[in-house]
Structure 1
Amino acid sequence: MRIARLKSVDLHWREDGDPDGIPVVFANSLGTDLRLWDKVIALLPSSGVRLIRFDKRGHGLSSCPKPPYSMEALCEDTEEFLQEIGVTGCIFVGLSIGGCIGQLLASRRPELVKGLVLSNSAAKMGTPQMWEERIERIRATGIDSMADAILERWFGEAFRHSDEAVLWRHMLIRTPADGYIGCSAALAASDLTASTSELALPVLGIGGEHDLASPSSVVRATTELVPGSRFVEIATAGHLPCVERPEIYADHLMTFLKENLHVGTV
């Protein structure tokens, strides 16, 4: 197990692939940990790319400071983490809040990010009122009380009733309440429209046909803020298409690496 001991937080992380390859950094969604990427990582090449993933603060095996958090703090964690492990010029793949972190990171530190994948993410996710209501309910009754409703937003019906969906429910309800609340507060206060509109780098947007958390229309609109970007929608998938349709997800990612970033080894 690897832990990056940073100024304000300890981040759990993992590395696969080629340690000398082009770095591809994966940032997971609210209520999940770095296992979110297991299926996709298994489909990516073992040479030419350095595959890095981490648990953001308050999630997985990372430490959990008291909430609230800000998007700036989550971005600063990521900046410091990448510097700690010697990464510059990465392809940053962020899902949901992970995509928000990626947008802000690319704006603040363009030398760290040379390509961005915005998966099921947006410049502004939800409304402050929605997030405040969720925070208050979790404080009152815990994440478990909202788990079924959250999974309805995450997955299509067929997957939601599969045995595998149990893993994701358990992962969700085992997320520390402080971590979930802290990241929810960051989303409530965040609108990245202005800074994302000024980005100038290759961007791929990925939506899920049945995503109720970040509908494809919202993901597409954010993607189109960046000139020259491309958007794809994955059919029959919800908010976590890397889980439901990993083969298609990996294909889109590898195409992006080849065509937009000239990563010929994949």
Structure 2
Amino acid sequence: MTRPDGAELAVTITGEGPGLLLVSGLGGTAGFWSRIVPVLAASFRVAVLDQRGVGASTRGTAPVTITTLAEDAAAVATELGGRFALCGHSTGAAIVLTMAAGRMCDVSRIVLSAGWLQPDPYLRALFTTRLAILERAGYAAYEQMGRFLGYPAETLVAAGNFATPDRLPEGREVEERQRWSERIGALLDFNGTDLPPCVSVPTLVVGTPDDLIVPHHHQRATAEAIPGAAFAPLSDGGHFYPQTRQAAFLDRVLPFLSV
């Protein structure tokens, strides 16, 4: 679909039933959800998108902020029609929270996974450091460090990919640095502390204690701030637990979505 600023958003629809829009995190790709879409599509009409400037979607001219990304996702749901449940992971949780609090589309319920309301000193220091790695060591080193932060050690050992990353060609390097610098900037600029009282739909908050990117206290604080929110943490799985602990994630999310 085309946005007013010219951004072209790549959207994929799978399955039939009540609407469910999945919103990924900092990476912004629809592919983040590829392992669980087939399961969810047995019960839902599942929509996934590449966020602006990522994957098959073009950047457009609007600034990349959490509000802009929320408006994009809401436009997708509105164009598809009907009520949608929303599930967002990490930065996607900030996007979904913004959508629901602002009543940007017709929302039935929301899942906030590995999210936060406002960057604390830990998040600011972590992402400032990641920006420094991106700028000084290059995108490949930045991406590999993200894997070390995001996945449990056993997952990385099983994959066995510990090769020293090669630097990208100059043009691609500049492109990737710009893309991820502005997306990290959007993350660090987000302040959702005034949004929880505006959420009027059933809410499930998910997280895990071994998340090194968005520590678990953020999910506890989010669940406490949103009226009536349910809190259903996993025992482990790292930041990318929808991939590494797929069954445990679905055990929490599916019953909530199916009510």
TM range (shorter): 0.7 to 0.9
Identity across the alignment (%): 22
Contact 1:154 1:240 in 2 (8 A): yes
**What CA deviation, in whole Å up to 9, does each residue of 1:88-128 have, x standing for no partner?**
42110000010100000111126522211001111124555
Number of residue pairs matched?
248
Amino acid in the other structure paired with 1:30: L
Displacement, 1:136? 4.7
| Superposition TM-score, scaled by structure 2 size | 0.85
The answer to whether structure 1 residue 5 and structure 2 residue 2 are counterparts is yes
The C-alpha deviation readout for 1:172-196, integer Å capped at 9, x for no partner, is x999433322221111111101112
Using the TM superposition, give the Cα deviation of residue 58 of structure 1 relative to its aligned residue in structure 2, in angstroms.
Answer: 2.2
Partner of 1:55: 50
What are the within-5 Å matches in structure 2 for residues 79-90 of structure 1? 79-86=74-81, 88-90=82-84
State the partner residue of 1:135: 131
Does 2:73 align with 1:73? no
Q: What's 1:153 paired with?
A: 149
Match of 2:23 among 9, 19, 27: 27
Code of the aligned partner of 2:73: T
CA distance in 1, matches of 2:160, 2:55: 19
Task: List gaps (5 residues or longer) in structure 2.
Answer: 166-171
- The 1:165–1:213 alpha-carbon spacing in structure 2 relative to 1, beyond 3 Å, is farther
Compared CA separation, residues 216 and 227, structure 1 to 2 (3 A)? same
After superposition, the Cα gap between the structure-2 partners of 1:136 and 1:58, relative to the gap in structure 1 and judged at 3 Å, is farther
| C-alpha contact (below 8 Å) 1:206/1:231 kept by paired residues | yes
Q: State the distance in 2 between where 1:23 and 1:62 align.
A: 22
SS in 2 for 1:193: coil
> CA–CA distance in 2 between the matches of 1:161 and 1:102?
33
Q: Structure 1 length normalisation: TM-score?
A: 0.83
Match in the other structure for 2:169: none
Report the alpha carbon displacement of residue 245 of structure 1 after superposing the two structures with TM: 1.0
Say which SS state the counterpart of residue 194 (structure 1) adopts.
Answer: coil
Cα distance between partner residues in 2 of 1:146 and 1:82: 32
Alpha-carbon spacing, 1:239–1:129, altered in 2? closer, same or farther (3 Å): closer
- For residues 92 and 28 of structure 2, the distance between their equivalents in structure 1, rounded to whole angstroms, comes to 11
Q: Does the 8 A contact of 2:74 with 2:105 survive in 1?
A: no
Q: Contact conserved, 2:8 with 2:60, CA < 8 A, in 1?
A: no
Shift of 1:232: 1.6
Change in CA separation of 1:178 and 1:91 when aligned onto 2, cut-off 3 Å: same
Structure 1 residue 66: Cα displacement: 6.7
Aligned counterparts of 1:197 and 1:137: Cα–Cα separation in 2: 37
1:107-162 CA-partner distances (Å, limit 9, x unpaired)? 11265222110011111245556544533542444321222321122111101222
Aligned with residue 12 of structure 2, among 8, 11, 14 = 14
Which range moved further: 204-213 or 77-86?
77-86
1:96 maps to 90
The aligned amino acid for 1:149 is M
Compare relative contact order (CA 8 Å, sep 6+) and give the higher one, 1 or 2: 1
Moved over 3 A (4+): 65-68, 125-137, 173-177
Alignment of 1:203-214 (within 5 A): 203-214=203-214
Is contact 1:25–1:90 with CA below 8 Å preserved after alignment? Answer: yes
What is the identity, as a one-letter code, of the residue corresponding to 1:85? L
> Retained in 2: the 8 A contact 1:24–1:52?
yes
